[in-house]
A and B are shown apart, each in its own frame.
Chain A
């Protein structure tokens, strides 16, 4: 069975601090996909990234970066120089191939304080 664990329930940081959101996953599949989504207070889920299990290169997109470590089954998300607009719930998710459904972690609520 697939499982995603986001051990940090809530994180609070001061604006401009860097923050890392942890994600650990479990799967028996050799090929799988990992995702991160952002859920702002409005409720709608916003896609941030999808990563194939064969691609272990870290990715950077502006202030966002992702560290995929297959050896530790982790896919951590770092926000550099956090801003108040980054305040949201962030979800990590996992899926296998053949359009199997995404399994989500319980989410991490990030509060960035001005």
Chain B
């Protein structure tokens, strides 16, 4: 069966520090991968998605970036965090058959 994991689960970082959130999927090949962000009390905002290795589509211009170095690995990064980057970050995958989106456990980031 397929599983998705992301880490770390919780992160407290100072403004201006770098960020790296990792997500891996197991049990499937060539998944579509997504990063969403949920600000406190708000909906899910799509940040990035990837249909293959090295292929990244950005939905919202900001100081975050994403990379997909391997088929089942998706990384969200920032060189310098802003206060507004605080939120709940969710990684997700979907297969080519337009099925449902499967989410990871989420990473709660607080920027102080």
Contact = CB atoms under 8 A, between A and B. Distances in A.
Most B C-beta atoms less than 10 A away, residue of A37, A45, A104, A106: A45
B23 to A, nearest CB: 14
Interface stretch (A17-25, A57-65, A80-88, A94-102): A94-102
B46 to A, nearest CB: 5
B66 interface: no
Contacts of A50: 99-100
Contact of A47 (B88, B102, B108): B102
B51 A99 contact: yes
B43 A105 contact: yes
Contacts of A44: 103-106
Contacts of A35: 100-101
Contacts of B99: 50
B32 A104 contact: no
A25 B106 CA distance: 26
8 contacts: A43-B106, A44-B103, A44-B105, A91-B43, A93-B101, A99-B96, A102-B34, A107-B43
Interface of B: 32, 34, 36, 42-44, 46, 49, 51, 59, 88, 90, 92, 94, 96, 98-106, 108
